[in-house]
Amino acid sequence: MELAELDALLTPEAMRLIDELDPVETASDVARTVSRLRAAGHGPELVSAVVGQVRLRQRAAQKFGEFASRMLFTRAGLEQATRMSVSAHHGGRFARAGLTSVADLGSGIGGDSLALAALGIRVLAIEADDVTAALATYNLAAFRDQVEVRQGLAEEADITGVQGAWLDPARRTKGHTETRRVSAADYSPSLTWAFALARTMPTGIKLGPAFDRDEIPEEFEAQWISVDGSTVELVLWSGPLARDGVGRAALVVRGDSAHEITAPHDAVDEPLRALGRYLYEPEGAVIRARLIGEVARALQAGPMSDGIAYLTGDEDRTSPFAARFRVRETFPADPKTLAREMHARGIGTLEIKKRGVDIDPAEFRKKLKLRGSGSATLFITRAGDKRVAVLADRE
pTM: 0.89
Do 293 and 207 belong together in one domain?
no
Q: Mutual orientation of helices 44-64 and 12-20 as an angle, nearest 10°? A: 60
Confidence (pLDDT) at 292? 98
Confidence (pLDDT) at 179? 56
Looking at the structure of the chain, the number of domains it has is: 3
SS3 content of the chain, % helix, strand, coil (to 5): 35, 25, 35
Do 336 and 360 belong together in one domain?
yes
Do 194 and 145 belong together in one domain?
yes
Do 112 and 182 belong together in one domain?
yes
Distances (CA, A) of 390 to 205, 357, 366: 40, 13, 18
Q: pLDDT digit string (tens) for 157-200? A: 999 999 999 999 877 556 555 555 666 677 888 999 999 999 99
Start-to-end Cα distance in the chain: 45
Average pLDDT over residues 362-382: 96
Residue 161 belongs to a domain with what CATH number?
Answer: 3.40.50.150
Confidence (pLDDT) at 217? 95
Asked if residue 272 is part of any domain, the answer here is: no
Asked if residue 199 is part of any domain, the answer here is: yes
Spell out the long-range contacts of 329-334 with Cβ–Cβ below 8 A and sequence spacing 24 or more: 329/390, 329/391, 330/275, 330/383, 330/388, 330/389, 330/390, 330/391, 331/388, 331/389, 331/391, 332/387, 332/388, 332/389, 333/357, 333/380, 333/387, 333/388, 333/389, 334/389
* % the chain with pLDDT above 70: 96
Asked if residue 271 is part of any domain, the answer here is: no
Asked if residue 367 is part of any domain, the answer here is: yes
Do 182 and 240 belong together in one domain?
yes
AA identity, residue 361: P
Name the residue range of residue 317's domain.
Answer: 278-394
Instruction: Look at residues 263, 289, 324 and tell me which one is the last residue of a structural domain.
Output: 263
Asked if residue 269 is part of any domain, the answer here is: no
Q: pLDDT digit string (tens) for 76-132? A: 889 888 899 999 999 999 999 999 999 999 999 999 999 999 999 999 999 999 999
Asked if residue 268 is part of any domain, the answer here is: no
Do 219 and 311 belong together in one domain?
no
Do 177 and 190 belong together in one domain?
yes
Q: pLDDT digit string (tens) for 24-50? A: 888 888 999 999 999 999 988 889 889
Do 306 and 209 belong together in one domain?
no
Instruction: Look at residues 212, 233, 263 and tell me which one is the last residue of a structural domain.
Output: 263
Instruction: Look at residues 263, 297, 324 and tell me which one is the last residue of a structural domain.
Output: 263
